[in-house]
Amino acid sequence: MSEKNTLGRRRFFKIATAGSLGAAIATPSFFQKVQAQEKVTPEKPETNIADAMKYPRNEHSMPGKYPGQVVRVNHPESIVDNEPVEEVVYAMIAKALLTLTGTSSLKDAWLKFVSPDDIIGLKVNPVAGKLLFTSHAVTKSVIRQLREAGIPDSNIVIWDRRDFQLAETGYTTDNYPGIAIRGTEIKDATDSFYDKNGEMYAEKMIDKNWYYWADYEEEYDAYTLPYMVNGGKYSYFSKICTQEVDKIINLPVLKNAGTSVTLCLKNLAFGSITNTGRLHKYLWSETCAEVCAFPPLRDKVVLNIVDGIKGCFDGGPGANPQFICNYNTILAGTDPVAVDRIGYNIVIAKRIEEGVQEEELARGRKFMELAAALGLGECDINKIDLKEINLL
């Protein structure tokens, strides 16, 4: 590779990590290429999804306590001067949980999903950088409500794939004293992915007993590899979700991904495994669905709360200022497929309103249909029980 090409590639990945590698490559042009490739690919690569289906389900398994149910809470004053208002967001989440569970006590509502003995992972999304991430108003409201339900700070973990993206978006111990903040891919103070012995820090964070195998691989150069952790046909799960937490509360952002969305399932799947670059090309929909069918996610994700205070309708899952908008909404449910389906309708309606696309396209629903077929939730809009509440 020429010096010019190498520098160009490094610039590309620097841009990528400002939001995420996935954010940078998941542009509209990227998705057009993927769709074109899918049309000429006669067969999808095989995966080990059959292995996931061998494990028995438990009482917490997706779609959870309230299958097919979604609560949407709207508030026109949830964002002021481009900043989410924490007290308003707190009230929106509280109303969503009370409505979903049918309880009159917010503490009782939370205790339907977690207990003071659980180590609870809050799966945030900092992928698009400072412009668009799981807002602190949402995360701090959830933590405050967990505390009020008797969950100690020592039992709460904020996590995502890359620790440096968490820090970039303000997920630091200064902002969250007493709360653990964890990433699978780690850089040290010198901006290096490697320790003094030349071993990648992330190697200590992956669980090779749990993996998503797909019969497809791509070669990564030395600069790209740390953002993937490993090459080959295996994508390993993070120890954060396999070993460190008992329950997961999923906190995605209301964003598009081409003509589809990146909400509950995508936030979990691509945020929990390594070696994802290869999976965008032919297996994006399959990965979103199938990775969530493995026990470290299927049996631990007890609640999804979508941050729709501010989101985007194009350019996602990265962030382009011209496509960011205020949805002023919160979505909540235990069923990630149903929640994604409602979020999908919101985003697609906005895209059509803005003239980004003319009509809803069936391919945008493919990952949800695959997830439904795996028993992870309901994607038929006619079978979803949506309760919409307007505050103020």
Helix ranges (H only) for 76-205 are: 86-101, 106-110, 136-148, 163-168
pLDDT at site 321: 95
Q: Which domain holds residue 102?
A: 3-390
pLDDT at site 24: 41
136-186 pLDDT tens trace? 999 999 999 999 999 999 999 999 999 999 999 999 999 999 999 999 999
318-353 pLDDT tens trace? 889 999 999 999 999 999 999 999 999 999 999 999
d(CA 297, CA 382): 26
pLDDT at site 23: 43
d(CA 254, CA 268): 14
pTM assigned to the model: 0.90
**CB distance 72 to 331 below 8 Å:** yes
Beta-ladder partners of 70 = 386
d(CA 43, CA 203): 32
**Which residues of the chain, if any, have pLDDT below 70?**
1-42
Q: How far is CA 105 from CA 32, 148, 228, 246, in A?
A: 48, 11, 44, 24
pLDDT at site 392: 87
Contacts of 339 (CB under 8 A, 6+ apart): 70, 263, 264, 304, 306, 331, 332, 333, 377
Domain count, the chain: 1
In 3D space, the residue among 391, 389, 310 whose CA is nearest the CA of residue 75 turns out to be: 391
